[in-house]
Structure 1
Amino acid sequence: MGLDRPLVTLLKSDRNGNLYCGIMRYLGTPAGGYGDGRLMRSSDRGQSWSPVQISKDWRYLDMDEAPNGDLYCAHGFGAQLPSATIVGSSLAVSQDQGLTWKDLPVMSGMGFCTTTTPNGDLFVAGESAGTWRSVDQGSTWTLLPVANQTSNLTLLTSTDQGDLILSGGAMRGLFFSSAVENGIPWHTYDNPDLPDYYSLSDVAFDADGNAWCTTRGQNGVPALFFLEAPIQSSSPLQPVDGIFGPLFDMVWDACGYLYIYSTGAVLKSKTSLRSPSEPCTPVSTLSPYLSPSSIWLYPNPASHTVTIQFQSMTGHGFIRLINAQGIMIQDILVRIQEGENRFQLSLDGLPSGIYQVQLSCPDGIFSSTLIVQAG
């Protein structure tokens, strides 16, 4: 069986090389029922996939591996009948390398994020008013409040030392708890150098314990930030200039280079940020950071427009909007300045669907996907 749902909600690997992929249908699909989510597993580097035995739910959102090799999967709306053993559970555990899973007695509404600390404590959060913590491998749980929480909690991670970073979906919703505090309390990260931004997408730790944080990069705000170790709620934070969002998940290669997924592009760190995990040859075919003409899209449903942002050489170019059938809907001649450019494209009258925004400029032809919801 392959990946037979169009939306991917989770992609993780474990220490044994197994891959896990959460998939779901588009909401509103008649046969979907709670999004008809599936958690798929591959033991052959993604060549083939099979569903695992886990309680039915809408979608599977996050996964973490404990020091002892147990796997924890956060999901939401909550485990559903007939397969659920604990109806409404938002976290499941596997002790056999992801083949079978059992529900744990914790209900965080939508289970957006989960993490384990080096000593094996578990955390899960989502629509909950705070974070749920277990110090006995998931048998019992305590709800720990998060001061100044104004939204759902969407990202939760632990450093190798056990310090915890938590992010919500609201502006400046970044929280910290030290390994000693272990979630009691959570401190609001309110460094005056921190620009206004919306929730973190991912956090990756380099060899020195520094945290690289990706965000959605709203309104031109730099989308990549750097938190210096040792990480505290008052740690200096440095934005990385010239990197635009939205940015999403990050991954390390064997040589210690950091890769970041962006809309229609992949960023690569200019230098190795971690010691190589094995003898390796760096990949040289990917340009450092983004290609100069990769494009970023910022849809604005309120005005039925999308802002197109890119960097290029001086010259003339064309911005084209192409539908799923390959038919060109718009073809606009634009004058391009050297450096950063922004153009606004009207979406008035377009039916719902998937479109390609294509940029033809002095540096080449580039495209990015745009999903339009009419009305």
Structure 2
Amino acid sequence: MNRLAGAQKGFSLGSTIQSETKGIWMWCVPHPIFKDFVLVLLDTEGLGDVEKGDRKYDSKIFTHTVLLSSALVYNSMGTINQDALDKLKYPFITGELTELIKVRTGDIQDQEGNFSTYFPIFIWAVRDFSLELKIDGKMVSADGYLENALRLKTQKSSEDKEYNELRNRLRMYFGKRKCFVFDAPTDSRKQLKELEQLTDDRLNEDFVSQSTLFCDYIFKNAKAKTVDITVNVTGHRLGELAKLYTEALNSSNVVCLEEVVVSLAEKENRIVIQEATKYYEDRMKTMVLPTDTLNQFLDVSSQYEDEARKIFLKRSIKDKDQKFLLEFMVSFGVVYKSARSFL
């Protein structure tokens, strides 16, 4: 996470048995590749913190992370094994992520199939990996290693059904999956406690190169976050979404993505109405009144109105029935009437 931020330190690395991160921590930095974009890093506490022991809380943290992210990185140590998969079982199976998220209102069947449209890239990061990437004597890529771990069994028993259930969910929810394996950053136990002070030349060469590949992949493949496919998430909208998700989970324990988009559009469009109207007001204040003729006033006013309308149309979201455009025109009409009264 610190490497993604281009920093030596920031998110605590936690060199003791006690977990460092509680809740979700955020760090925003300029995107290293795409101009005018910001890289928002969310560091969440791990699943199954023994000090908290609250699985329902874990599910809510996980739900927030999935919905706010365009790339989700899941860490495990050593290997991709059943224990690492079992940690995902609670939010996906026992905690039923499908009970915390709905795509649309109403009792609509098979909503799970639509989740992959809203869910981020899934990246499995295997830390301190020391084995050979071989399956049945043949070399495989890290991605092949992950896909083999998610391979389904021929279902002949209840045990096979349970084995397949989580893997089915992961494959269905995350259409785009990626895996990276990392050597230990250093072979020295003492140095592990001082990672924040160690420069790359004091770390394992393979770890440094693997970390570079990992960062490059995220920079290039984690696209700008969208909601409802078409709405780009700005900084302000990210804050609003975080509040809407929190309110929904705390009040009803369910996030309806359709309702969240409607609420976001309501708040955003009213802000745009105010800003576009103010733009018109400010422009009108620059006009020297009274004008020589009424037509001169109308021409200039019409020009400023067009500019304000373009601002509204460019920044408004999900206004299919033009409800907010009508509100803007009514608001604009009041300002226009006020301006004419000074003629």
TM, length-normalised to structure 1? 0.24
* Larger relative contact order (Cα-Cα within 8 Å, sequence gap ≥ 6): 2
Higher helix share: 2
Larger Cα-atom Rg: 2
